[in-house]
């Protein structure tokens, strides 16, 4: 059992949760949800033991699988060893056994200790540890040839996937995963969903991926109103139930307030008269009818609306025989396509397949994105296009959201000043209005750009795109630093947008609900061009 009892956490005047008691049961999979700043990561750290509660107690099972947030902690170790470290008891036994075998001579005491250690290794399935670790790594798209490498040789996204395999390794009684889908492509996310749906322990997971939560979770533990309420069902089920409960309480409060007002009017009229017993009776009824206190929700919903200053021509982009390689490593081979106004294209495929590379090749020839902007956010090697042609159509105006989007927001200015430079003719009220739509309070406009969080930088870039009103939007993984409310707002905005969209994302629902065309990057360095939705594409792949 994993449980908390009468736990409270606050920072200064800000209360995250107060006197919370809740439990998590084996065989159930809990999504830990709540808006940014509600305390999800803090609560997860209480469960893992990384933080101690200011008040209350936490009970944990003996064997926890925890997703490490430190990408550099295991740089000195082999990849496969890093995974096996997820079972601390096994790893300690293996390490001690190896240390004993390194001795030039073994004593009787060493022999007895080896017998004890071999017993632990057997109990923990240590003799199949490397093959079990390899299966996890393969599922998460870590190639076999990397398993013997040092962690320091891996890229950031690969390290995250190894750390995820570490958390999953060794059949932990409880799995605590904070944003496990970050840096995973859709194939890896789907593999992880399948793995977790077979897991029979306690799962507590934080994710901003709605489809992932709906696919995996049997319960949602929602942090809001300074407490945690657990709902049965998926994330979408929780949203419906939470809305209904809130609406019901608000309706009951409205009726009670009306009744209290009538009683108070009677009390005021007859308090000094001869009907004192009736007045006293109504005073008691007022006390009984006190309105249920509704704590203020932490949820904040941004408003995103992308418009066009003017529409583009019908044929927005022609791509002819585009190829790109890095040294001897081919990335894109002879890709040709034609895009018409209003199409919304999702670029999909494994990490490293060339999605960002293709976007860079297209944007390098665009009329409104300077190459200097691309160099800030990509591994520029001297050229973005080695062969082929990219021809943008009449009146094309392109807006760009980079994967490394924070690099596009220059340091040394304020959020307000940075945004205003893109449209000097805009009034201060218009700029502040846009910032307000994206949840920047008035004083937040004076925040220095160098201290913006990843989520704040993302919201500031959305402000820029809303201000500039381009007729082509190019997004490279825009959801990485967004909460569920912001992702939902982006989803709706892209569905309603009348212009053309190129979108790289690993968010299943965003692709499924926005895309009208799929470019799927294959392992052969070719791109499958499918005209239709993601659901239709999946059906075509299955039938073929």
Q: What is the CATH number of the domain that holds 489?
A: 3.40.50.300
Note the pLDDT of residue 293.
Answer: 53
Residues 276 and 322 in one domain: no
DSSP 264-282: HHHHHHHTTSS-HHHHHHH
Q: DSSP per residue over 83-109, as a string?
A: HHTTSHHHHHHHHHHHHHHTSSS--HH
Q: Which residues of 289-312 are buried (b: 16+ CB within 10 A; e: fewer)?
A: eeeeeeeeebbeebebebbbeeeb
- Domain-embedded: residue 58: no
Sheet holding 472-476, edge to edge: 398-401, 472-476, 500-504, 344-348, 517-521, 527-531
Where are the alpha helices (H) located in 233-335, listed in sequence order?
Answer: 235-270, 276-288
pLDDT tens for residues 279-333? 777 777 767 666 555 555 666 789 999 999 999 999 999 999 998 887 777 788 8
- Domain boundary among the residues 135, 153, 170 is at 170
Query: Do 197 and 242 share a structural domain?
Result: yes
The CATH number of residue 196's host domain is: 3.40.50
What is the model's pLDDT at position 377?
64
370 lies in some domain: yes
Same domain, 196 and 273: yes
- 475: in domain: yes
Domain assignment present for residue 405? The answer is: yes
Looking at the structure, tell me whether residues 432 and 344 fall in a common domain.
yes
Q: Quick one: pLDDT at residue 511? A: 96
Same domain, 375 and 433: yes
Q: Is residue 320 located within the same domain as residue 245?
A: no
- Count of structural domains, the chain: 3
Rounded CA gap, 310 and 270, in Å?
68
Q: What is the pLDDT of residue 380?
A: 53
Predicted pLDDT at 347: 96
Specify whether 180 is located in the same domain as 166.
Answer: no
For the chain, residues with pLDDT lower than 70 are: 246-253, 272-275, 286, 288-299, 371-372, 375-383, 544
Please give the Cα distance from 197 to 183 (Å, whole number): 20
Residue 47 lies in a domain: yes
Position 443 scores a pLDDT of 87
130 and 185 together in one domain: no
Same domain for 427 and 342: yes
- Asked whether residue 218 falls in the same domain as residue 163, the answer is no
| Domain assignment of residue 450, yes or no | yes
Q: Given 170, 199, 223, which residue is the final one in a domain?
A: 170
pLDDT attached to residue 292: 52
Answer yes or no: is 235 within a domain. yes
H or E stretch at 11: strand 2-11
pLDDT score for 374: 72
Residue 59 in domain? no
Domain-ending residue, one of 140, 170, 200: 170
Based on the fold, state whether residues 409 and 442 are members of the same structural domain: yes
Do 201 and 233 belong together in one domain? yes
Q: Which range of residues forms the domain containing residue 103? A: 71-170
Sheet strands (E) in 283-422: 315-326, 329-340, 344-348, 387-392, 398-401
Query: For residues 396 and 367, is the Cβ–Cβ distance under 8 A?
Result: yes
């Amino acid at each position: 059992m994993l449980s908390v009892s009468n736990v409270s956490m606050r920072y200064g005047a800000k209360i995250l949760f107060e006197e919370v008691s809740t439990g998590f049961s084996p065989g159930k999979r809990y999504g830990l949800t709540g808006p940014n700043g509600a305390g999800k990561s803090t609560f997860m750290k209480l469960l893992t033991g990384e933080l101690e509660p200011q008040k209350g107690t936490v009970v944990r099972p003996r064997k926890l699988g925890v997703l490490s947030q430190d990408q550099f902690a295991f740089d000195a170790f082999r990849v496969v060893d890093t995974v096996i470290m997820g079972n601390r008891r096994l790893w300690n036994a293996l390490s001690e056994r190896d240390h004993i075998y390194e001795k030039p001579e073994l004593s009787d005491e060493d022999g007895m200790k080896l017998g004890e250690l071999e017993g632990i290794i057997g109990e923990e399935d240590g003799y199949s540890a490397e093959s079990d670790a390899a299966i996890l790594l393969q599922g998460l798209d870590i190639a076999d040839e990397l398993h013997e490498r040092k962690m320091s040789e891996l890229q950031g996204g690969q390290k995250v996937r190894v750390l995820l395999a570490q958390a999953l390794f060794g059949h932990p009684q409880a799995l605590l995963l904070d944003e496990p889908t970050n840096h995973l492509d859709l194939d890896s996310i789907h593999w992880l969903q399948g793995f977790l749906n077979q897991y029979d322990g306690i799962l507590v997971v934080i994710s901003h991926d709605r489809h992932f939560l709906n696919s995996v979770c049997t319960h949602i533990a929602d942090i809001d109103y300074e407490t945690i309420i657990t709902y049965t069902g998926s994330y979408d089920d929780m949203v419906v139930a939470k809305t209904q409960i809130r609406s019901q309480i608000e309706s009951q409060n409205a009726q009670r307030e009306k009744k209290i007002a009538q009683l108070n009017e009677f009390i005021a009229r007859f308090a000094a008269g001869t009907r004192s017993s009736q007045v006293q009776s109504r005073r008691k009824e007022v006390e009984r009818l006190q309105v249920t206190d509704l704590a203020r929700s932490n949820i904040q919903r941004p408003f995103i609306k992308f418009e066009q200053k003017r529409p583009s021509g019908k044929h927005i982009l022609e791509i002819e025989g585009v190829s790109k390689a890095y040294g001897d490593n081919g990335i894109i081979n002879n890709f040709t396509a034609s895009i018409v106004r209003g199409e919304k294209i999702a670029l999909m495929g494994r990490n490293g397949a060339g999605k960002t590379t293709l976007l860079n090749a297209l944007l390098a020839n665009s009329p409104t994105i300077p190459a200097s902007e691309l160099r800030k956010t990509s591994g520029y090697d001297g050229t973005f296009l080695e062969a082929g042609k990219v021809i943008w159509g009449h009146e094309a105006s392109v807006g760009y959201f980079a994967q490394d989007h924070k690099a596009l927001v220059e340091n040394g200015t304020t959020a307000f000043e940075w945004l205003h430079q893109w449209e000097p003719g805009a009034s201060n009220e218009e700029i502040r209005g846009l910032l307000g739509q994206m949840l920047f309070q008035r004083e937040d406009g004076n925040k220095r750009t160098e201290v913006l969080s990843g989520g704040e930088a993302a919201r500031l870039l959305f402000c820029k795109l809303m201000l500039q009103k381009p007729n082509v939007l190019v997004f490279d993984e825009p959801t990485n630093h967004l909460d569920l409310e912001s992702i939902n707002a982006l989803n709706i905005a892209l569905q309603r947008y009348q212009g053309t969209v190129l979108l790289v994302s690993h968010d299943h629902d965003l692709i499924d609900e926005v895309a009208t065309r799929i470019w799927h990057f294959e392992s052969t360095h070719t791109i499958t061009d499918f005209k239709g939705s993601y659901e239709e594409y999946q059906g075509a792949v299955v039938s073929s």
